[in-house]
Amino acid sequence: MQQSDISILIVEDQTLMRQGLRTILDLEEGIRVVGEARDGAEGVREALRLRPDIILMDVQMPVMNGVEAIRAIIAAWSQARIIVLTTFDRDDYVFQSVRAGAMGYLLKDAPAEALLQTIRRVHTGEVFIQPEIASRTLREVATGRRRAGTTPFDLSEREREVLVLLAQGLSNREIAGRLSITEGTVKNHVSNILARLQAENRTQAANIARREGLTD
């Protein structure tokens, strides 16, 4: 495997699907499958052992389902980039997977090119849900928040403004200029944002913000 290749772990209980995915991915230049797992529990072990660039995760599996596996992986390795690849487009599966920490959601009947594009987009840090189901998920997230009557992560309006700009890659100085506040104030807001999102750094905060729809 070349250093620049995107390493992939496939977590899928169906042998034919797992082998088919491996064949497609191994034929693609710049992408290499480094491991396979047949259930969620094995997927967690292999993910933490191999630390691949991308994990392809099925939802319904024996021993431990995909959502539980995602939670376990993210809890132990917050930088993991996981794409859910499943036959199910039910809102609850999509919502639970994204909430658990998945950065991508794609149906198994999607064309191979869509899978490859999703892998590359998630590898760069982008959160990507198949367009056909993305709008439905976002509506559910928004509706749930309105019903709860709370601000996600208890962010103030100003902190959310800072987070949006942070997610766009702006520096503290650029954010200060954009919002007409001091750089020190921005620094304080960023510290509060990291604490409330339980993020280790700006990149992780930006990923969480995109995943939770906080930058929309």
In the chain, DSSP finds a helix count (H) and a strand count (E) of 10, 6
Q: How confident is the model at residue 198 (pLDDT cuts 50, 70, 90)?
A: confident
Q: How confident is the model at residue 127 (pLDDT cuts 50, 70, 90)?
A: confident
pLDDT at 208: 80
Residues ≥6 apart with Cβ < 8 Å to 144: none
Mean pLDDT of the chain: 85
Most confident of 61-75, 79-93, 181-195: 61-75
List strands edge to edge, sheet with 54-57. Answer: 31-37, 6-11, 54-57, 82-86, 104-107, 128-129
* Cα dihedral across residues 88, 93, 97, 103: positive or negative: positive
* 47, 135, 163, 178: CA torsion to nearest 10: 140
Using the predicted structure, report yes or no on whether residue 4 has a pLDDT greater than 60: yes
**91-95, 136-140, 159-163: the lowest-pLDDT one:** 136-140
Nearest alpha carbon to residue 64 among 81, 89, 87, 47: 47
Using the predicted structure, report yes or no on whether residue 30 has a pLDDT greater than 60: yes
* Percentage, residues of the chain above pLDDT 90: 51
Q: Which two tokens stand for residue 171?
A: 């520096």
pLDDT at 74: 92
Question: Which comes out higher in pLDDT, residue 2 or 182?
Answer: 182
State mean pLDDT over 59-88. 92
Using the predicted structure, report yes or no on whether residue 79 has a pLDDT greater than 50: yes
- End-to-end Cα distance, the chain: 38
Nearest alpha carbon to residue 11 among 80, 49, 60: 60
pLDDT tens-digit map of 134-158: 655 555 554 554 444 444 566 788 8
Q: Find the helix packing angle between 66-76 and 91-100, rounded to 10°.
A: 10
State mean pLDDT over 37-47. 97
Radius of gyration of the chain (CA): 18
* Percentage, residues of the chain above pLDDT 70: 85
pLDDT at 140: 53
pLDDT at 152: 54
